[in-house]
Chains A and B, each alone.
Chain A
Amino acid sequence: MATAAPTPRFTHPAARGACPFAPPPAYQQAQQEEPISRVSLWDGTPSWFLTRYDDIKAVLADPRFSSDATRPGFPFISAGARQLSAGQTTFIRMDDPEHAHQRRMLTGEFMIKKVEALRPEIQRIADRLLDDMTAGRTEADLVRDFALPLPSLVICLLLGVPYEDHAFFQECSRVLLRRDSAPEDVDAAQKRLADYLVALTETKRTAPDDGILSRLVERGELTTEEIGAMGRLLLIAGHETTANMTALSVLALLRNPAQLDHLRAHPEAVPGAVEELLRYLTIVHSGLTRVATEDVEVGGVRIRAGEGVICMVSTANRDAEQFPGGDELDLTRDARRHLAFGFGTHQCLGQPLARLELRIALDTVLRRLPGLRLAVPFEDVPFRGEMLVYGLHELPVTW
């Protein structure tokens, strides 16, 4: 067993290689040569860097690895990401039992039955967006006109946030999720969004609606600030992730025309295809961060209390032991074991909603736009390399 920590292999995040869908080559090399390695972060602090499926699943399921970003040694991907953790703490940065207590206030909101009941409404929204996008036009930005507004409208509806404010909260979320945002800009955007949601929550006290914010107010267990912070988390997580998965999925399918044709001919394969796309694209591309609270042995390596750990779910989802030929998109693969939503008790709360939105989005786009193709050369599509959530800034398409 290794005792002394090896020297850092590279600075995380590393540069991507030739394929913009694949994790950086340095990560895949680490997975081959030294699956639990040391890396440097933006400020020179060292962190453990985990790349294999089994090790990552073990760490994310182990309560000795904490999600509490106030603990010394907690690793941050950027100065902005550190600032992001400095605001009002939400349950994603808590450990059990506090985490479970707050999460359980929301699990009923996102359970499969409840989400499935939204299907007709989400389908209506998807159809209306495509009606508007295609009316009198032959070209559009699929991100701006479809992939982003679809989940934004849905999460606004669920929370009780007025969609008219989407330009404001989408701009705040862009600043919060940029790896290169200055900490003071993150702080300012965080405060503006927090103030907005606290004020909105306050209005629910006098004029309750059928949204999640109102139900949290009615529950009476959280302060207005805590509800506002929870709302901020759900609002950002609810639109950024699905929007980017939708756009990236469409692009990945356009780059794999045989698989795209197969999916068009077999719409019943869309749910399975969504799982494979989640695996292949893994938009949480900077990894999931934890800090050890005790000395723990993982994969033959001793990780000491107070040391940071970054779990690269993107490389885990291409680990050849779990997913042979994982660098290829294969829509016939059973990819349901993927870690794109994380693992352990922090695994994505909104995954039933994300799945339903992705299924409806892909099915609707494929069905209604049989001639869909890129309107620019593939090389000119702007990928979101600098964002904490990977995806596309724009996806210019024609049909």
Chain B
Amino acid sequence: MLVTIDQDKCCGAGSCVLAAPDVFDQRDEDGIVVLLDARPPADLHQAVKDAADVCPAAAIRLETA
């Protein structure tokens, strides 16, 4: 799984951090998404899918790679 994020789209709701805190964080200065792990281990894939699903701004893209 390859995770990419779009910081321009992000609206800082924090849903991704709630769903997958090992993969997503929020930038200290403005709460915008930061990617911690672009190739998360298999045991986190479901949490990352949940994060992409609940992202209100469609700022998370997942590819099978």
Contact = CB atoms under 8 A, between A and B. Distances in A.
Interface of A: 60-61, 100, 103-104, 107-114, 336-337, 341-349, 351-352, 355
Nearest to B13: A347
Say whether chain B's binding surface is mostly helix, strand, loop, or mixed: loop
A310 B14 CA distance: 25
B22 to A, nearest CB: 14
B26 to A, nearest CB: 4
A271 to B, nearest CB: 9
A107 B58 contact: no
Contact of A344 (B28, B29, B53, B57): B57
A336 B12 CA distance: 17
Nearest to B19: A336
Interface in B36-56: 50, 53-54, 56
A107 B11 contact: yes
B11 A108 contact: no
Select the residue from B9, B13, B32, B54 with max chain A CB neighbours within 10 A.
B13
Contact of B31 (A100, A107, A343): A107
B31 A108 contact: yes
**3 shortest A-B CB distances, which residue pairs?**
A107-B12, A111-B31, A107-B31
B42 to A, nearest CB: 20
B63 interface: no
B3 interface: no
A112 B26 contact: yes
Contacts of B31: 107-111, 114
Interface of B: 9, 11-15, 17-19, 26-32, 50, 53-54, 56-58
A60 B58 CA distance: 11
Contact of A336 (B17, B29, B30, B50): B50
30 contacts: A61-B58, A103-B11, A104-B12, A108-B28, A108-B30, A109-B31, A110-B12, A110-B14, A110-B31, A112-B14, A112-B18, A112-B26, A113-B26, A337-B53, A337-B54, A343-B56, A344-B56, A345-B9, A345-B11, A345-B57, A347-B11, A347-B13, A347-B15, A347-B57, A349-B12, A351-B13, A351-B14, A351-B15, A352-B18, A355-B18
Nearest to A348: B13
A336 B13 contact: no
A112 B15 CA distance: 9
Nearest to A345: B11
A349 B13 contact: yes
A243 B46 CA distance: 33
A111 B53 contact: no
Nearest to B30: A108
A352 B31 CA distance: 11
A111 B34 CA distance: 12
A23 to B, nearest CB: 22
Given A107-B31, A112-B18, A100 B13 contact: no
